[in-house]
Amino acid sequence: MKILVLGAGAVGGYFGGRLAEAGADVTFLVRPKRAELIARNGLRISSRTGNLTLQAKCVLAERVRPDYDLVILTAKAYDLASAVDAIAPAMAGAGGGKKGHLLPLLNGMSHLDVLDARFGRERILGGVAYIASTLAPDGEIRHMSDFHSIAFGPRHATQNAVCENFAAAAKGAKAEFKRNDAIEQALWDKWVLLASLGGITCLMRAPVGDIVATGSGAVLSLALLDECASVAKAEGFATPEAVCANYVGMLTKKGSPATASMMRDMEAGGQAEGDHILGAMLARARRHSLAVPVLEIAATHLEAYTARRRREIAS
């Protein structure tokens, strides 16, 4: 199986690197500066589970050909349009016209509608990445958690073979690549957590421990979780009780340093995925006429931040 990974950043670089380390045929689609850095220093991963320096194969956008069986997409949701254009030449697949498949690892669910419309649902797998990692200024990928796994699975009856082939390619990797035949449930479960954790930490501009140390922090955090879970239930993907219990523990843990990447992006003055994680969740709540007051405030907060950021950049 020939695999193309879009980007060699904190997520794509980590999981693509672990696949290549295990012997999989992996190429990274990167920008010229990233290609030069990898050519000079290798693809470098720092992790408590094992460091890695890899002479990775890279390709620039203008040289992408339809030679791949699977494309792994790890872009931020706000970069989806440009990412889709970048991978389009690769999506014809390998072997004389056989069409390749796409494994997106984006947050939320809205990207699936875009990808299904562009390439066809039968070619789009479901995928969820579980990792805390960052790309350092020197190009090193820093893995910051004990967890590093990908859940993937079919969204169409014809996708069994590609899932089996990917599982075989990932065998022996120093990260978990686990097939999940209920992948859309997994996507919803993660979205509920991201919207809850992201919404409350962005709204309060503080980690979980500081939020729950206040008089109403835990109450508001759990109210937001309940609202997001109600949206998932209305969409037909009720969050399992055990999963909800785990989320309650995460959102109310005293002293927890946990934050969402959206909050870290905001603190750095960067672009955030508010529209794709909170805005899209709010839109679905409205579709079902659900009362979600905390979610509405959190989504509006991110929307206002984005509007202000755009105005200040323009000026």
Q: Which of the residues are catalytic?
A: 190
Q: Measure Cα distances from 18 to 29, 48, 49 in Å.
A: 16, 14, 11
Tokens linked to 274: 């508010």
C-alpha span between 150 and 274 (Å, rounded): 23
The three-state secondary structure class of 276 is helix
In the 8-state DSSP scheme, what is residue 278?
A: I
β-bridge pairing 70-73 and 101-104: parallel
Give the Cα separation of 110 and 204 in Å (integer): 26
Q: Are 96 and 27 spatial neighbours (Cβ–Cβ below 8 Å)?
A: no
- Could you write out the DSSP letters of every residue in 180-249? -TTHHHHHHHHHHHHHHHHHHHHHHTS-HHHHHTSSSHHHHHHHHHHHHHHHHHHTT-PPPHHHHHHHHH
- Neighbouring CB atoms inside 10 A of 311's CB total 9
Q: State the helix-helix crossing angle for 280-287 and 293-314, rounded to 10 degrees.
A: 140
Distance CA 4, CA 101 (A): 10
207: its two tokens: 């980690």
Q: Torsion angle, CA of 277/283/286/291, rounded to 10 degrees?
A: 20
Q: What are phi and psi of 42, to 5 degrees?
A: 85, 165
